[in-house]
């Protein structure tokens, strides 16, 4: 069985992006041209509490996903505190024309004029947002009930405790890498956290995105574009197919490497990928399967036998620059061994 099928086309996507509709420095049109030139096919412009349909940018080779980034802070005024925890989530609309604002709170709508806020389609509670497990779960469920997929953003940057993240229900995926945050600290690669979620039985996928604001030009070392992306494996190039790939975990996260194939026959796993220095298969044990290239050499494939006690299977490959690509976790009841 294929975990990453060689027969499905892979579409390069940035699923976290900010424009001049919130605190980004590029217009949606400029963002499209930037990403199109770099070989991307899909872009989700996820401005802060600004739900927008950008399908006017779509053409036969480029597709936008409707959505926005919502967040909850401990301070009722939504004031930013660099030392305080908070939660950010991306809402991805199942239908491109869905611009519903979830749990409207004017304290969070700093990028929208009052007349724009008055025209919003709203759903859910409109009491001030509360930084509690109960409220956040209500927030997520309201979004799901109103046509959104919900993704958990930049866990390191958000400074939340693991027990907080474990308490949240309903997110379909978590950012394995958030490149903007990764540039700040190199700590926003979340492989260890993702494995802890899988060990705890969380059925959650992983993806990556730039979270770009473009305060620096493309040739600047602090440019936050083009550093982390999601490859969507879809049957065809339509909005519905991309959402289906996201919802079903037909995707993987990357900071550079590519998977060509990941397949299993019995308890044997076969991996084919672009040139890398290391290949790992994590199973929830202290000793993942792994192979490392000899100095001056590269790996493009590997085969391993998976232990009968494996809790799940997920593959990670790392290139010579330390950039990783990661599949989601596949649990035993999804596998044929």
Is pTM beyond 0.95? Reply is yes
Domain ranges of the chain: 9-254, 256-337
Which helix (H) or strand (E) segment holds residue 324: the answer is: strand 324-326
| CATH class assigned to 256-337 | mainly beta
Report pLDDT digits (tens) over 148-184.
999 999 999 999 999 999 999 999 999 999 999 999 9
Contact 19, 26 (CB under 8 A): yes
Contact 24, 46 (CB under 8 A): no
Q: What is the mean pLDDT of the chain?
A: 97
CATH number of 9-254: 3.20.20.140
SS3 category, 174 = strand
Phi-psi region of 139 (alpha: psi -120 to 50; beta: other; left: phi over 0): alpha
DSSP letter string over 249-316? T-EEEESS--EEEEEEETTEEEEEEEEESEEEEE-SSSS-EEEEPPTT--EEEEEEEPPTT-SEEEEE
Please measure the distance between the N-terminal and C-terminal CA atoms of the chain and give it in whole angstroms. Answer: 11
Report pLDDT digits (tens) over 278-329.
999 999 999 999 999 999 999 999 999 999 999 999 999 999 999 999 999 9
Report pLDDT digits (tens) over 213-240.
999 999 999 999 999 999 999 989 999 9
Contact 202, 329 (CB under 8 A): no
Residue 334 DSSP one-character state: G
SS3 category, 148 = strand
Question: Which residue in 313, 337, 304 sits closest to 4, CA to CA?
Answer: 313
Contact 258, 231 (CB under 8 A): yes
């Amino acid at each position: 069985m294929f975990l990453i099928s060689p027969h499905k086309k892979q579409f390069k996507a940035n699923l976290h992006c900010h424009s001049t509709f919130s605190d980004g420095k590029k217009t949606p049109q400029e963002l499209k041209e930037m990403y199109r030139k770099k070989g991307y096919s899909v872009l989700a412009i996820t401005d802060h509490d600004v739900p927008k349909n950008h399908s006017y940018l779509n053409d036969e080779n480029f597709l936008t996903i409707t959505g926005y980034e919502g967040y909850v802070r401990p301070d009722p005024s939504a004031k930013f505190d660099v030392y305080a925890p908070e939660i950010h989530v991306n809402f991805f609309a199942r239908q491109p024309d869905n611009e519903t604002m979830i749990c409207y709170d004017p304290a969070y709508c700093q990028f929208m004029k009052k007349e724009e806020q008055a025209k919003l389609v709203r759903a859910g509670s409109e009491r001030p947002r509360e930084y509690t497990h109960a409220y956040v779960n209500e927030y997520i469920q309201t979004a799901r009930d109103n046509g959104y997929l919900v993704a958990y953003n930049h866990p390191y940057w958000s400074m939340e405790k693991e027990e907080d993240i474990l308490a949240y229900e309903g997110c379909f995926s978590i950012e394995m890498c958030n490149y903007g945050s990764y540039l700040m600290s190199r700590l926003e690669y979340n492989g260890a956290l993702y494995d802890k979620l899988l060990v705890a039985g969380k059925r959650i996928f992983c993806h990556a995105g730039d979270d770009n604001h473009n305060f620096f030009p493309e040739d600047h070392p602090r440019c936050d574009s083009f550093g982390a992306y999601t490859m969507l494996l879809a049957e065809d190039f339509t909005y519905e197919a991309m959402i289906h790939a996201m919802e079903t975990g037909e995707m993987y996260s990357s900071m550079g490497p590519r998977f060509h194939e990941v397949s299993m026959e019995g308890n044997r796993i076969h991996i084919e990928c672009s040139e890398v220095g290391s290949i790992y298969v994590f199973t929830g044990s202290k000793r993942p399967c792994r192979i490392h290239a000899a100095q001056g050499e590269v790996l493009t494939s590997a085969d391993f036998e998976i232990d009968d006690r494996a809790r799940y299977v997920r593959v990670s490959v790392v290139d010579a620059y330390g950039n990783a690509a990661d599949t989601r976790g596949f649990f035993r009841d999804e596998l044929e061994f």
